[in-house]
Amino acid sequence: MALARIVDASLEFIPSAEGAAVELARGESMVYVQSGGTLEQHVGLELPARGSLSGLSVEMGATLYCADSEQDPRVDRASCRRVGARSLVCVPLRSPRGNVGVLKVCSSRHDAFSDRDVAVLGGLSQFVAGVIVATSDSPPGDLTSFASPPEEGVPHTTEDFVERVLRPDAVADVALAREVSDVIQHRRFHMVFQPIVDVVDGSVVMSEALCRFDAPSTRTPDRWFADAWRVGLGAPLELAAADMALADIERLPDGCRMSLNVSPTFLEHPLVDELLAWPHPDRIVLEITEHVECEDFARTRQILTPLRERGILVSLDDAGSGYSSLQRLVALEPDIIKLDLELVRGIDHDPVRRSMARALVHFAADVGSKVVAEGVEAPRELNTLGELGVRLIQGFLIARPGDVGAIPESPWLLASSTPLL
């Protein structure tokens, strides 16, 4: 199983490789003990070591590259044709007992591999040999020499390769990290804005900045952020989205605040210091989301203190969605409480939802917080919320998310099809 992972990881690490194999020296022969890609069908193949690049690599203890097997006298041309190897790299597998075989990658094209490919493979030889020793009957002491540093110029390659072999799910994580990193670096996303309106006077009091990803994917925005946190890139992605949104803050209607989504974990990240340098703090609302669960409410509240002192307001979303949301309400004392979409949907005909919303409205009044109902789509929901004392509304009934320049001063007054409360 370990050798199969080594072969798979080799093909993943060297994109130009079409086939990969672990060959072990047995007497005068080299034997394919594990292979993948175009070499997969050749497991068990035994070829003469003499006259082959694999045998020469074992003999010399050196990484060897053949750019064109049709021209290179060091290779067995017939064997290369048999396995479809026009260019190949052989890396000796060194153990305390000597060189035991090679890790080989090949391609049907000539000159397929770069100097970096050769260097990367060369840096992996001791680890691969160590796996072979560890999975054989050799004594544990044979493993002591396999912790060599990676070659200069490829500082993380060996560590990444080892992780892929020992933890197979790391392959997916590495690919995901590259994808998220590309999204951040090249700003493969854009911001849209959805107004939050006071339906009593028709004014736009806030506009929530929402991130939409341009990269082709079936992931929802919430999934993008959750995956980014999983691979350690959540904070850079959240900061990049916030920076892009803030570039448009002066385009909002006068007196309108911008609401930015941030997770509790981001607030504990060193990048949070950059929040203190944001312009117009008195026009910013930080909406604490649950991309990542809050683990230390006291710490989060402490971090928010200097931000609040600069005029930044704190909003909590998904109020009423469960016990954890009630914990956050009590611990963080938000300036704004957003009623959960599931609480709003169908509130006009569900007494349980109305009772919960009424309790949250009373709680907000007692602690001096404002209440926003999000996800309002039906006039009946709006009327019921008005009866409960909720006047700040967000949802498709008011306006869909769009360009910041499309937000009018009083969108609710323009929606003449629905009566003003």
For the 2-168 domain, the top CATH level (class) is alpha beta
pTM above 0.75, yes or no: no
pLDDT confidence of residue 146:
33
Question: What is the band of 125 on the pLDDT scale with cuts at 50, 70, 90?
Answer: low
- Residue 409 has a pLDDT of 59
283 closest CA partner among 257, 306, 263, 318: 257
Q: Cα separation of 239 and 261, whole Å?
A: 10
Higher pLDDT, 208 or 27: 208
Rounded mean pLDDT, 282-299: 80
Residue 127 and residue 342: Cα distance in Å, rounded? 52
Residues 6+ apart with CB under 8 A from 31: 23, 24, 44, 45, 46
Range in 95-99, 391-395, 411-415 the model is least confident about: 411-415
Check residue 204 and give its pLDDT. Answer: 93
List the one residue out of 269, 277, 194 whose CA is nearest residue 238.
269
d(CA 36, CA 21): 6
- For β-strands 392-393 and 370-373, DSSP reports them as parallel
Confidence of residue 252 (pLDDT cuts 50, 70, 90): very high
The conformation of residue 75, written as its DSSP 8-state character, comes to S
Sorted by sequence, the CB contacts under 8 Å of residue 158 that are 6+ apart come out as 123, 124, 127, 148, 149, 150
Confidence class of residue 251 from pLDDT cuts 50, 70 and 90?
Answer: very high
Mean pLDDT comparison of 23-32, 111-120, 176-185, 379-388, highest-scoring range? 379-388
Answer yes or no: is pLDDT of 293 > 60: yes
In the predicted model, is pLDDT for residue 144 greater than 70? Answer: no
pLDDT of residue 132: 62
pLDDT of residue 166: 41
Cα 40 to Cα 84, 117, 263, 399, distances in angstroms? 12, 21, 46, 57
Question: Phi and psi for 288 in degrees, rounded to 5?
Answer: -80, 115
Q: Name the residue among 82, 59, 50 with its Cα closest to residue 69.
A: 82
Q: What is the pLDDT of residue 187?
A: 94
Query: How many residues does this entry show for the chain?
Result: 421
Residue 264 dihedral angles phi and psi, to the nearest 5°: -55, -35
Domain with CATH 3.30.450.40 in the chain: 2-168
> Residues 2, 131: contact at Cβ < 8 Å?
yes
Judge contact between 166 and 6, C-beta under 8 A: no
Q: What is the mean pLDDT of residues 155-162?
A: 45
169-178, long-range: CB < 8 A, 24+ apart: 171/8, 171/9, 171/12, 173/230, 173/231, 176/227, 176/230, 176/231, 177/231, 177/232, 177/233
Give the least confident one: 7-11, 102-106, 186-190: 7-11
Answer whether residue 87 shows pLDDT above 50.
yes
Interatomic CA distance for residues 215 and 351, integer angstroms: 42
Instruction: Say how many C-beta atoms besides its own lie within 10 A of residue 2's C-beta.
Output: 14
- In CATH, the architecture of 178-414 is Alpha-Beta Barrel (3.20)
Q: Residue 156's pLDDT is what? A: 46
Q: How large is the angle between the packed helices 157-166 and 170-185, nearest 10 degrees?
A: 130
What is the mean pLDDT of the segment spanning 176-192?
90
The helix/strand/coil state of 199 is coil
Interval 21-47 mean pLDDT: 90
Q: Indicate where the chain has its CATH 3.20.20.450 domain(s).
A: 178-414
Span 311-344, pLDDT tens digits = 999 998 866 555 456 777 877 889 999 998 889 9
